[in-house]
Amino acid sequence: MKIVVCVKQVAVLGDEVEFADDALDVDPDYLDFALNEWDSYATEEALRTRESLGAEGDEIVVVSVGDRQVEDAMRRCLAMGADRAIRVDGPGSADPITLARLLAPVVQRESPDLVFCGVQSSDAVQAATGTVLAELTGLPRVAVVTRIEWDPSAARAIVHRELEGGLVDVTEVDTPALLTIQTGINQPRYATLRAIKQAEQKEIEVVSPAEQGEPAFRVRRMFTPPKEEGAQMLDGGPADIARRIKEIVEERLK
């Protein structure tokens, strides 16, 4: 049994933000970096899946795209208990389609039983990489997963996926499959200092990027939205304000 977990090192904003001189990104001086929150749940779910099956020799492989710096996030997954890590030496903050193109050959080479991705990354919030990766690798995919009951011998999993309004869709999927994991599916474990130290010593395999193709989109400019004028302040009690809002909306709809 093998589970591949695709993870991302995300940028975290501090209290203040400045943009880089070319206005294409945030000035890196104002950024911290961390393992994407969703991916820590995905990693934990892989570990729990292995533990619940109690299978010896099973392997959890963490894959990420980026330069050397993203290894910090990958080592966090290794410290939690992942066995191996593969870094695709490409642009880690690229668009979801580019990222999926870079991840796909590694996933195919590893030929896992399950692929876990986080639902989305906290910095880009596109929620697309996992789905594109499923398309490129030809795997069935279930998104926003909150519970997994996997039977490896039957190559089938019953999966709960979160819908809007508190609804849950219970569905079956043949494995191998790609699942995007929602936060709250579990409580990710913390790594002990010993595990962190051991993870520091582990070799991370680096693979060259595949052909990236055309990006799905490009950033033209980042800027603070200008302050607009014409806001109308409504005074009065909640009932008055609600009535006024209703009138304004009805007026505009005409």
Partner 1 sequence: MARDPKYDILFEPIQLGPKTMKNRFYQIPHCNGFGSEKPLSQAYFRAMKAEGGYGACCTEYCSISPESDDTHRVSARLWDDEDVKNLSVMCEMLHDHGALAAAELWYGGPHAPCMESRSVPRGPSQIPSDFEYLTYAKEMDKDDIREVQQLYVDAARRARDAGFDIVYVYGSHSYLPQQFLTPYYNKRTDEYGGSFENRARFWRETIEQVRDAVGDDTAIAVRMSCDMFMGDAGTQLERDCLPFVELCDEIVDVWDINVSGISEWGEDATPSRFYPSGRLLPWQEAVKKVSKKPVLGVGRFTSPDLMVDAINSGKLDIIATCRPSISDPFLPKKIDEGRLDDIRECIGCNICISRWEIGGPPVICTQNATAGEEYRRGWHPEKFDTAENADNDVLVVGAGPAGMECAMILGKRGMRRVHLVEAEEDMGGIMRWIPQLPGLGEWARVVNYRKIQTDKLRNVEFIPGTTLDANGVKEYGAEIVVIATGAYWATDGLNGCTHDTIPGADASQPWCLTPEQIMRDGKDVPGSNVLIVDNDGYFMGVSLAEKLASEGKKVTLMTHLGHIAPYMHFTLEAPNQHRKLHKLGVDIVTYHIPSRIEQGAVTATHVYDEEAHEQTWDADAVVLVTQRRSNEALYRELKDRIGFDALREEGITGCYRIGDCEAPRLIADCVFSGHRLAREIDSENPEVPKPFIRERRVIERELAVA
Binding residues (CB under 8 A) for partner 1: these are 15-16, 32, 187, 190, 192-197
Q: How far is the CB of 159 from partner 1 (least distance, A)?
A: 27
Q: How far is the CB of 14 from partner 1 (least distance, A)?
A: 9
In whole angstroms, the minimum distance from the beta carbon of 192 to partner 1 comes to 5
Cα(182)–Cα(54) distance, integer angstroms: 24
Nearer to partner 1 by C-beta: 79 or 134? 79
Token pair in block for residue 236: 């009065």
Whichever of 12 and 55 has its CB closer to partner 1, that residue is 12
* Nearer to partner 1 among residue 15 and residue 211 (C-beta): 15
Cα 145 from Cα 131, distance rounded (Å): 13
Q: Which is nearer to partner 1, 27 or 169 (CB)?
A: 27
Q: How far is the CB of 151 from partner 1 (least distance, A)?
A: 31
251: left (phi over 0), alpha (psi -120 to 50) or beta: alpha
With CA atoms as reference, report the closest residue to 209 among 124, 129, 105, 132: 105
Nearest to 150 by CA among 168, 177, 169, 130: 177
